[in-house]
Amino acid sequence: MFNDKLKEECGVFGVYNLEGKDVSPTIYYGLLALQHRGQESCGIAVSDTFSNSYNINSVKDMGLVNNVFNKENLSSLKGNIGVGHVRYSTTGASVRENAQPLVLNYMKGTLALSHNGNLINLEELSHELKKSGSIFYTNIDSEVIASCIAKERVLSSSIEEAVCKTMKKIEGAYSIVVMSPRKLIGLRDPYGFKPLCIGKKDNSYIFSSESSALDNIGAEFIRDVEPGEVVTISSKGIESNKENMIDKNLQGRCVFEYIYFSRVDSFIDGVSVYDARVKSGEYLAKQSFVDADIVTGVPDSGNAAAIGYAKESGIPYRVVFVKNNYIGRTFIKPDPNERTSAVQMKLNVLKNIVKDKRIVLVDDSIVRGTTSNQIISMLKDAGAREVHMRISSPPFLYPCYFGIDVPSRKELIASSHTKEEIRKIIGADSLDYLNTDNLSHLVNDLGICKGCFTGDYPIKNIKGKQKKLVR
């Protein structure tokens, strides 16, 4: 939402209707529900399993879902199987050519692919494919994955076999939906970095980055795709391949899916995002209580944690910010002065609520510290007597290699400043972060990645592989 926030990942969505009905309207509404995961570009690709043409039709462009799609171009997307994508770029430029889904024509036919994540062996794979004659039209890792699948398909008996072979070659974070002319395949990396779930509505099976998108289209949640699993949907129903799964103790889900990225009404691997955020606030209150008059959250991702802090501390929760949802996201503004203006335009303070009050202000993270400073200044300008900042994640100290666009270490305020120095910079009367040890408790002790806080990543040789791609 703000300049000081992490930049989103991507969202993937796929539908297979067994009766032959067009799926593009369903994908459109699914992408609308996933819009928070990426606002740079979007697209839909469809095919008809009842046709012998094997053609894939697609529409994709820069912009939001409701700007790119209209009745005319949606009506042109005829087909009962399809994939969709909303994108925020972590590799590759933000240009139309890099928009997804990617559509590939090759010796065995066609395929379309939507991908959320980041490969760590991109350079190695790209070099290997180019040596064997592959030509790339984009500069994103998703095309490398698609090319790997196409190459393996030529030597395999089925598309799902080719996908399983590709999984043994690609390393990093990914949730992917692949469409062939007759099948829809969902896969998730063995560490489970990125979420992916399965739903059903009438005679349609659905893949989605988040369960909340299933709710929005009236679909039933079936289950999550397990880390390392390949799920194939065809006219025969659902089939599963688990040959690439690893020990649960080695898994490393991105904890920021629970803290910030995912919608608060989503469930990931059986854990409610809302409950995880409330718990983070409760732990903050236990470890860092401060005597105050009211608790509030920075909208929207700080609200549930603020409710948890208020619940545990006994201090009343109050809404003190009015949010204008029609102002563009501030991180896309290139000029610092524009960012400041956009933050002030997006939030307004209820002065009668904060005047002469001691406030606990809860947010999900501090990246650079600029927006925290602006928000605290707004509260104090409105008459707040004290503002105590509480953060529902540990301090950011290290880069992310798996699809979150964390700035370079020199831009991470916590990597070069003490907590007391940060407190002074943002203008808070006190500051504290959630302890790293409490993170696993938020997700019922599921395996999570804490690399951006501790420097200890689930993939142990990550630093050597990723030297050229450190942001």
Q: Rounded to whole angstroms, how far apart are CA atoms 108 and 54?
A: 10
- Using alpha carbons, select from 126, 130, 98 the residue that is nearest to residue 114: 98
The question of whether 400 is a catalytic residue gets the answer no
Q: Rounded to whole angstroms, how far apart are CA atoms 111 and 45?
A: 10
Query: How many C-beta neighbours within 10 Å does residue 143 have?
Result: 23
Q: Helices 370-381 and 336-346 sit at what angle, rounded to 10 degrees?
A: 50
Q: Rounded to whole angstroms, how far apart are CA atoms 116 and 203?
A: 26
418: CB partners within 8 A, 6+ apart: none
363 phi and psi angles, rounded to 5 deg? -135, 165
Catalytic machinery residues: 10
